[in-house]
Every structure is written in C-alpha cells, then in structure tokens.
C-alpha cells in the first residue's frame, strides 16, 4: 500500500514513531494508502531543516526565487492529469473539477507569487522640513507555519506556501490528514524544480498532534491557517502568549441575495454552482439563498428542476457534477444538519438522501439538498454545514434582505443578484463580508485581498497582502543635515 511520507530537508522520510494513519478514498469508502502519523519530533526535524535553510534562501536573489517558483508552476501544469486524479481519489471531488480548477489554481498560485515578488516594494516617507527620511525595510520573518484544510487540498496548500517562500521564508507546512496526497506528490516537484533543501518541509499527521506542534513551536514565528472557526480559535489561543503573527481564514455562512430585477437565467445557472460546487464544500459557497418574494415561487420551481438534473456519480465519470463527500464522519455531520433543519420546521424541497452509485456502493454520496426555512435564527441558517445543503428564505425589501444577510456570526463572502446600480453600491458597503460578488460568484483575481470579517477570520491573504503578512516591516529613520550656508 502507498505510503504518504513526510518531505523534510528535500527528501521523503518515514515518521519517527513508525506509526501510520489510514487514508480513505471517499468515492469507494476504502483505505488506499497510509499516512505518516507525525509528532512534535518530526515537526522539530522539519523546523531544524527550515532554520538551516533560511540564511541562504532569504539571501537568494528575487530573480532566482522567482525562477524556481515559476518552474514549480510549470511542473504542476505538466503533471495536471496525475495530480487531478490524485485529488479526486483523495477528496471525492469530480476529476473534471480538479482538472479545471484545483490543479490549475495550484499552478497559478506559484506563478502569481513568483511574479508578484519581483514587483513587491516598500514605502518611503520623507518628513519634509525635519530633514528626516523614513523607509520601510521588509524582511522575511524566518520559519513560518502553514496549515490547510481538505476541501481544496493542493489549491489552498499552495495559496499559503507560495507567498511564504516567495518572500524568503522557510516553511513547515501541514495539509489536512483527510487529503494529504497531492501535497505529498508536490515534494517530487519541489525537488525537480531545484528548490533548495529545507525551504519547504511538509509534515503529515493529525491536526491536534502535528498541527498543534507547529502552532506551539516557540520559534515558528507566524502561522497562516485555513480551516474551521473552532480550530482557528484554538490556534489563536495557543499562539497568543507567544505573540505570533497570525492569518486565519475560517468558516463561512454566505448569503446569496436574489432580487427580482436580476438577470434571471444567469443568476439561476450560477446559483446552482455556488450552492453545490465541490459538493458544497467550499468556504465561499452561497449556502443561504434569500430571494425576493415576487419571484420566489418561480425561483424555487426552476432551481429545484436544475438541481435535480445534476449528475451524482463517481469522480472519474466525465459527466459527474457531484462526487462523494470527503469522509464518512463529514457525511454523517451533513446528514445530521438535514435532520436538525427538518426538526426546526424546514421543508426539504429536494434531496436529503444518500445515493448508491453503481460499482462505488460504499462511497459517501449525498443528494444535493434544498431546504426552505422560515426562521433566520434556526441552526441550519446560523451554523456552517459545509456540504451540499442550501437553504431558501424570502424577503420583501432590500433592508430586510440586508438584515437577514448580516444576521450571522460569519462574514466571509456574499453574492448579490440585481441590475440596480444604486443597490449594488449600497449593499457592497453594508454587507458584512470580506468579499462581495455582484452578479457573479467565485470570480477571483489573485491580486485582490482575500479573507473574512467577524468569525470568518483575521487578516487578509492574496496579492501583496500575503507578501506583507509573510514579511516583517521595519521603519528605518535617517536624519540628515543641510550643507553649511557658506559651502
Ligand atoms: P479544520 O479546522 O478541522 O482543519 C484545518 C486544518 O487544521 C487541517 O490541516 C487540520 O488537520 C488542522 N488542525 C486541526 N486541529 C488543529 C490544531 N489543534 N492545531 C493545528 N492544526 C489543526 O477544518 P477542515 O479541514 O474540516 O476544513 C473545513 C473548514 O475550513 C470549514 O470550516 C471551511 O469553512 C474552512 N475553510 C475556510 C476557507 C477560507 O478561506 N476562509 C477556505 C476553505 C475552508 P487534520 O485535518 O489533519 O486534523
């Protein structure tokens, strides 16, 4: 059986304890590989490798760092099929999605930050009249930690490690133990691209053990984390007494506001995707639909018709749009929310049942589920389900829609469908979300700041924001004197 080894100091290594975790293929429900069950000792080895690599890497020219990142991007592209297949096996997502989105985006992350670092500059402030000049020196932090979740495995892993190394840091990184395969395969690519040993170390294992060891390590000075809000809270508690720099990208419960004056057909097609792409397991999915009352009956009918036509199947069928959920535990969690919603008065308009896929009978398949709710305070409206479950509520006025949208603890993203320009301006300002999409969804320009408000996170990544996070700014203030009058 394949073993998922740690990648430390430029080579693959078994975990020190010799213990392994089972890795499941969600589309079949079978264990298909073994994962290193790393402990704080493996993390320490990774840290030492990173520490030793730091002096040389942080003094490597920007051009050379950029060249290596671009080479990694090229190699990810060259391995598109292999990586997409690995992602589908490990995560349960349709291979077509991994091929169109996950793996190209992983490559883009390296390409983007390989280019961005060549344009990254810092500020100078002249104190006019005081004869002082300030400039900001931005240095890499040292050894940093990157921890990523299972929903977009290589996509989110590279979203963190690429800017971290571009900025001159060395990294100890941990992908989710639920989906470690593509991060494991990345090790080969890093070696082939000529990334110096120890610059990027990848440790596998559980969150509470390997992840916690990274966060608690006294000399890992910054943590970039994407995952659940509860885990983020725990990480913040662990890191706070050590005053670590933290970037937390956490959960979401994103509203999708549909006004009667929208471009209806475009809205309908995109809303199906924003509800169920990646089995609804994207932090940016629009899991709460609010639709203006005058079009609500038509919308419900048309939406259910489109959702019922989605093809649930094994990830390798070319026409599958909904694959398997990531794990048995997650499937059960999502099902429990469907029950909670029903018990709280929700009406299931479509779905809610497991699906048996021929030849893949033990896989974790669930119908896309549409639930009509009346009360914004019920749990399915307030808590993140993170699966193929979307709710629908109606509203009468823009004020009411805004109130319902903001009335949750999360603030990651929001989508608005309207052709009223004044309304788009009002709502973009008033919605409590780090990203507002108007008449579109998941449209990403990597230069833009990415992150959430409220319980959806702290800080922003993306573009120069990520490079700012991964560098330490220092103000240098120089006082100078004028030439003497008689000179
Ligand atoms: P988790 O919070 O369970 O895990 C995220 C990562 O943290 C995993 O690598 C996990 O390891 C690790 N981890 C768990 N416990 C600890 C700990 N005590 N210390 C350090 N690391 C730890 O999230 P999920 O993987 O379940 O991902 C789903 C969540 O991620 C959802 O809430 C979703 O909204 C959020 N998310 C947010 C995004 C954003 O950009 N805001 C984007 C994508 C997802 P392991 O899995 O091995 O236990």
149 CB under 6 A from ligand 1? yes
Cα–Cα nearest to 262, from 230, 239, 290: 290
Residue 361 Cα to ligand 1 midpoint, Å, equals: 28
Residue 229 Cα to ligand 1 midpoint, Å, equals: 8
Average of pLDDT values for 49-71?
Answer: 98
174 CB under 6 A from ligand 1? yes
Cα–Cα distance between 158 and 155 in angstroms, integer? 6
Average of pLDDT values for 459-482?
Answer: 97
Residue 148 Cα to ligand 1 midpoint, Å, equals: 6
413 CB under 6 A from ligand 1? no
Cα–Cα nearest to 391, from 432, 337, 454: 337
Residue of the CA atom closest to atom 9 of ligand 1:
176
226 CB under 6 A from ligand 1? yes
Residue of the CA atom closest to atom 22 of ligand 1:
207
249 CB under 6 A from ligand 1? yes
Average of pLDDT values for 79-100?
Answer: 98
| Look-up of token digits 């000529």 | 194
Q: From the CA of 249, give the closest atom in ligand 1.
A: 41
- Kindly state the tokens that stand for 284: 């940016």
Is 283 tagged catalytic?
yes
pLDDT digits 0-9 by tens, 414-454: 999 999 999 999 999 999 999 999 999 999 999 999 999 99
pLDDT value, residue 486: 62
Cα–Cα nearest to 291, from 421, 437, 428, 396: 396
- Kindly state the tokens that stand for 434: 């780090």
Residue 344 scores a pLDDT above 70: yes
pLDDT digits 0-9 by tens, 103-124: 999 999 999 999 999 999 999 9
Active-site residue among 146, 283, 285, 378?
A: 283
Residue 396 scores a pLDDT above 80: yes
Name which of 13-22, 66-75, 225-234, 476-485 the model is least confident about: 476-485
Residue 485: which pLDDT band, with cuts at 50, 70 and 90? confident
Residue 84 Cα to ligand 1 midpoint, Å, equals: 21
pLDDT digits 0-9 by tens, 239-261: 999 999 999 999 999 999 999 99
Cα–Cα nearest to 180, from 19, 348, 23, 397: 23
For residue 332, the SS3 value is: helix
Q: Give CA 311 to chain center in angstroms.
A: 25
Cα–Cα nearest to 45, from 215, 217, 235: 217
pLDDT digits 0-9 by tens, 131-166: 999 999 999 999 999 999 999 999 999 999 999 999
Write down the mean pLDDT value for the chain. 98
Active-site residue among 87, 177, 249, 461?
A: 249
- The CA-atom distances, in angstroms, between 304 and each of 248, 271, 345, 384, 460 are 35, 11, 19, 22, 36
- The CA-atom distances, in angstroms, between 303 and each of 271, 273, 437 are 8, 11, 20
173 CB under 6 A from ligand 1? no
Q: From the CA of 235, give the closest atom in ligand 1.
A: 19
- Which of the listed residues 227, 232, 254, 337 should we mutate to test ligand 1's pocket, taking the one with most ligand atoms within 8 A of CB? 227
The DSSP string of 358-395 is: TT-TTS--B--EEEE-S-TTSHHHHS---SSEEEEEEE
39 CB under 6 A from ligand 1? no
pLDDT value, residue 487: 57
250 CB under 6 A from ligand 1? yes
462 sits in the region (left: phi over 0; alpha: psi -120 to 50; else beta) called left
387 CB under 6 A from ligand 1? no
pLDDT value, residue 1: 82
pLDDT digits 0-9 by tens, 274-317: 999 999 999 999 999 999 999 999 999 999 999 999 999 999 99
CA dihedral 391, 274, 115, 47 (to 10 degrees): 40
- Which of the listed residues 231, 233, 278, 333 should we mutate to test ligand 1's pocket, taking the one with most ligand atoms within 8 A of CB? 231
- Which of the listed residues 207, 288, 448 should we mutate to test ligand 1's pocket, taking the one with most ligand atoms within 8 A of CB? 207
Residue 251 Cα to ligand 1 midpoint, Å, equals: 9
Strands across the sheet containing 288-292: 347-350, 369-372, 389-395, 288-292, 255-258, 413-417, 435-438
For residue 292, the SS3 value is: strand
Integer-rounded Cα radius of gyration of the chain: 24
410 CB under 6 A from ligand 1? no
Q: From the CA of 450, give the closest atom in ligand 1.
A: 40
Residue 323 Cα to ligand 1 midpoint, Å, equals: 21
| Look-up of token digits 């999915």 | 285
178 CB under 6 A from ligand 1? yes
- Kindly state the tokens that stand for 55: 């002096």
């Amino acid at each position: 059986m394949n073993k998922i080894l740690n990648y430390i100091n430029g080579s693959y290594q078994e975990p020190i304890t010799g213990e392994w975790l089972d890795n499941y293929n969600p589309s079949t429900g079978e264990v298909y590989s073994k994962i290193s069950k790393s402990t704080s000792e493996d993390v320490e080895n990774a840290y030492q490798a990173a520490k030793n690599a730091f002096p040389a890497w942080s003094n490597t020219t920007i051009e050379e760092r950029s060249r290596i990142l671009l080479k990694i991007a090229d190699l990810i592209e060259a391995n598109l099929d292999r990586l997409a297949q690995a992602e589908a096996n490990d995560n349960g997502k349709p291979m077509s999605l991994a091929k169109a989105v996950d793996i190209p985006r992983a490559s883009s992350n390296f390409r983007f930050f390989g280019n961005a670092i060549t344009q990254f500059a810092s500020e100078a402030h002249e104190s006019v009249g005081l004869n002082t000049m300030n400039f900001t020196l931005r240095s890499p932090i040292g050894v940093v930690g990157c921890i990523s979740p299972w929903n977009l495995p290589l996509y989110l892993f590279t979203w963190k490690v690429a800017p971290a190394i571009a900025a001159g840091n060395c990294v100890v990184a941990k992908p989710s133990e639920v989906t470690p395969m593509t991060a494991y395969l990345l090790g080969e690519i890093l070696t082939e691209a000529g990334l110096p040993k120890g610059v990027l170390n990848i440790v596998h294992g559980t969150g509470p053990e390997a992840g916690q060891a990274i966060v608690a390590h006294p000399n890992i000075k910054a943590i970039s984390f994407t995952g659940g809000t509860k885990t983020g809270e725990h990480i913040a508690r662990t890191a706070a007494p050590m005053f670590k720099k933290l970037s937390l990208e956490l959960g979401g419960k994103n509203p999708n506001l549909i006004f009667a004056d929208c471009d209806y057909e475009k809205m309908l097609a995109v809303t199906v995707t924003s509800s169920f792409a990646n089995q609804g397991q994207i932090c940016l999915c629009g899991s709460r639909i609010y639709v203006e009352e005058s079009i609500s009956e038509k919308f419900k009918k048309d939406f259910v018709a489109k959702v019922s036509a989605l093809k649930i199947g094994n990830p390798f069928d070319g026409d599958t749009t909904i694959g398997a959920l990531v794990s048995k535990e997650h499937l059960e969690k999502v099902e429990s929310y469907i029950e909670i919603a029903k018990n709280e008065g929700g009406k299931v308009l479509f779905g809610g049942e497991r699906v048996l896929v021929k030849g893949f009978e033990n896989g974790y398949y669930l119908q896309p589920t549409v639930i009509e709710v009346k009360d914004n305070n019920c749990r399915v409206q307030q808590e993140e389900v993170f699966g193929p479950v979307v709710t629908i509520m109606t509203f009468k006025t823009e004020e009411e829609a805004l109130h319902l949208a903001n009335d949750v603890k999360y603030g990651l993203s929001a989508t608005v469908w309207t052709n009223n320009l004044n309304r788009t301006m009002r709502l973009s300002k008033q919605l409590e979300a780090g990203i507002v999409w108007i008449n579109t969804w998941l449209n990403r320009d990597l230069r833009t700041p990415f992150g959430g408000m409220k319980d959806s996170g702290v800080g922003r990544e993306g573009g120069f924001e990520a490079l700012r996070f991964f560098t330490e700014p220092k103000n240098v203030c120089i006082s100078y004197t004028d030439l003497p009058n008689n000179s």
